[in-house]
Amino acid sequence: MSRKKKYTDKDKLKINSRHVELFNKSLDGIELMLDGILDDVKLYEGSYLDLPKSLISALDFIISSLTKIQKGQRLALGLDNEALTDDIEPKISIIEGVDLKKI
């Protein structure tokens, strides 16, 4: 059996700070890629509907990466704590044996 390690508040702060640093670095990399792709799009002389599939695929990758980075940053910064509790369905109490005609 493996034990779960209990983290102190200080440990959690270090871990979250590190996550935020990594997400920021990732965001910087994605920004560089996006700038390069947008430069290519600006130089493209054909119809935007005829963009090369590799360019469209790269844009799709960047959008997906941005979504993941944003989600990670929000979790590391504690911005989604309230949203996580909103997704929980309310508990429903069921009373058995009630005669609805007598209510």
- Residue 26 inside a domain? The answer is yes
- Residue 103 inside a domain? The answer is no
Q: Which domain holds residue 72?
A: 9-94
- Residue 101 inside a domain? The answer is no
| HEC profile of the chain | CCCCCCCCHHHHHHHHHHHHHHHHHHHHHHHHHHHHHHHHHHHCCCCHHHCCHHHHHHHHHHHHHHHHHHHHHHHHCCCCHHHHHHCCCCCCCCCCCCCHHHC
- Residue 57 inside a domain? The answer is yes
- Residue 32 inside a domain? The answer is yes
Q: What is the pLDDT of residue 78?
A: 80
Task: Write the pLDDT tens digit of every residue in 20-74.
Answer: 899 889 999 999 999 999 998 888 888 878 888 888 899 899 999 999 988 888 8
- Residue 1 inside a domain? The answer is no
User: How many independent structural domains does the chain possess?
Assistant: 1
- Residue 4 inside a domain? The answer is no
